[in-house]
Amino acid sequence: MKLHIDVEATDGAARAGTVNTQRGTISTPVFMPVGTKAAVGTLAAHDLERLGIQIMLGNTYHLMLRPGADLIDRLGGLHGFMDWGGHVLTDSGGYQIFSLEPKVDDEGARFKSTYDGTTYHLTPEGAATVQAQLGADISMVLDVCPSLPSPPEVLRAAVDRTVRWAARGRAAFLAEQPQRIEQGRDQAQFGIVQGGTDSALRVESARRTLEIGFDGYAVGGLSVGEGREQMVEALASTLDELPADQPRYFMGLGDPVGLVEAVGLGVDMFDCVLPTRLGRHGTILTSAGRLNLRNAKHADDDGPLDPDFDGDGTGRYSRAYLRHLLMVNEPTGRRLCTLHNVAWTLDLVARMRAAIVDGRFAAMRREVLDVWTRPGVI
């Protein structure tokens, strides 16, 4: 189904809205935590519910290998498998597969499973089918995502192949759609704009993706190593081309500076492994920047994780307690850091939404940039 965004409030280019799907309503801007292997870090469905998570991302690459898309399909898709009633967006698997140096031709990508060495062949059509089996509310087309910087001819080839694959992926999705609707699974499919940091190429990629026509649009291939100014410029030129009445999704972005910049330019959806990955390594997000809790200076620190935030139930624990758990390799430490970081990121996005509604987004953007671009703050 084509997804529309009902814009409730704007503040500059930033917008607060709602997106209705068959499953329910998503308030935007929205951050989607990443549930790589059908669990978000150490969080299961009851944790996600408690945190108020609206939509999680599932990794097609990992899930198609283990436990396999057929099995998840038989057990009711990711929703049935995880007992998760919220939304699920799945990626196409391409991003992970390209990191494995696959054999790629116009047909698709051939790669070996990191689990057992079995060879797989992922095509645009296959990516659409697998994501349907996973029961995604929103699925993504298979795309080509070059790292940055890349030579112009690499960026150009990626755009061309992404567009060809998008057409095939869209056709496969639409061919299977009537059957899915019959089963009560009216899914949406997003196209992906590539083009690196080349604004002209971004515009071309956006226009050709729009010509195919999708239920929503994503910006891919950014936040992969380029500087903030380059990112903002390439993003802005992409967003200018995307329809205002459909959701816009920035793939793989979740740091505070990136979020506030992208929301400011009018992006609605985000996903990122950052909160869970940092949590796994004992680093927490706070109103004063990142904090590595393994640092010896926290050994005696009876203070809360972030004095300015206690929305997640972890605010009761001290830095000293979490440092101890991390230092003795007790998994509870990593879990509590993950819970905190996911809740903190959701709260940041919720506060951005409130700022848009109240017409004070510019001030909030400045505050976030003041903290997170200060020298020494990471």
Write out the binding residues for its own copies, residues 93-112 only, by CB under 8 A: none
Nearer to its own copies, 260 or 337 (CB): 337
Nearer to its own copies, 82 or 158 (CB): 82
Query: Judged by CB under 8 A, which stretch of 41-49, 126-134, 192-200, 358-366 contacts its own copies?
Result: 41-49
Q: Does 281 bind its own copies (CB under 8 A)?
A: no
Query: Judged by CB under 8 A, which stretch of 105-113, 175-183, 312-320, 365-373 contacts its own copies?
Result: 312-320
Q: Residue 130 belongs to what H/E stretch?
A: helix 124-133
**Residues binding its own copies: number (CB under 8 A):** 39
Nearer to its own copies, 330 or 370 (CB): 330
Q: Does 360 bind its own copies (CB under 8 A)?
A: no
Residue 286, token pair as written in the block: 């706070």
Q: What is the DSSP letter of 184?
A: T
Q: Of 45, 136, 201, 278, which one interacts with its own copies (CB under 8 A)?
A: 45
Q: Of 14, 16, 34, 38, which one interacts with its own copies (CB under 8 A)?
A: 38
Q: Distance from CA of residue 239 to its chain's centroid?
A: 17
Report the distance separating Cα 270 and Cα 348, nearest Å.
Answer: 12
228 Cβ contact list (under 8 Å, min separation 6): 257, 258, 261
Which of 11, 91, 215, 347 is flagged as catalytic? 91
Rounded to the nearest whole angstrom, what is the least distance from the CB of residue 299 to its own copies in the complex?
7
Q: Residue 292 belongs to what H/E stretch?
A: strand 289-292
Q: Please say if 271 is a catalytic residue.
A: yes
Q: Is 188 exposed, middle or buried (0-12, 13-18, 19+ CB in 10 A)?
A: buried
Report the distance separating Cα 110 and Cα 100, nearest Å.
Answer: 10
DSSP string, 59-95: -HHHHHHTT-HHHHHHTTHHHHHHT--SEEEE--SHH
Q: Does 320 bind its own copies (CB under 8 A)?
A: yes
Amino acid identity, residue 331?
Answer: P
Query: Judged by CB under 8 A, which stretch of 61-69, 97-105, 268-276, 341-349 contacts its own copies?
Result: 61-69
Q: Distance from CA of residue 304 to its chain's centroid?
A: 28
Query: Judged by CB under 8 A, which stretch of 51-59, 99-107, 189-197, 297-305 contacts its own copies?
Result: 297-305
Nearer to its own copies, 334 or 353 (CB): 334
Rounded to the nearest whole angstrom, what is the least distance from the CB of residue 94 to its own copies in the complex?
20
Residue 174, token pair as written in the block: 């639409």
Residue 168, token pair as written in the block: 């095939």
Q: Please say if 301 is a catalytic residue.
A: no
Q: Does 46 bind its own copies (CB under 8 A)?
A: yes
Nearer to its own copies, 243 or 313 (CB): 313
Region of residue 361 (phi > 0: left; psi between -120 and 50: alpha; otherwise: beta)? alpha
Q: Of 74, 103, 366, 374, which one interacts with its own copies (CB under 8 A)?
A: 74
Which of 137, 198, 271, 312 is flagged as catalytic? 271
Rounded to the nearest whole angstrom, what is the least distance from the CB of residue 30 to its own copies in the complex?
23
245 Cβ contact list (under 8 Å, min separation 6): 4, 5
With CA atoms as reference, report the closest residue to 371 among 259, 275, 283, 256.
256
Bridge partners (DSSP) listed for residue 286: 289
- Let me know: does 318 contact 340? Beta carbons within 8 Å: no
Query: Judged by CB under 8 A, which stretch of 88-96, 269-277, 296-304, 341-349 contacts its own copies?
Result: 296-304
Binding-site ranges for its own copies (CB under 8 A)? 37-39, 41-46, 62, 66-67, 71, 74-75, 81-83, 299-300, 302, 313, 316-318, 320-321, 323-325, 327-328, 330-336
Q: Which residues are designated catalytic? A: 91, 271
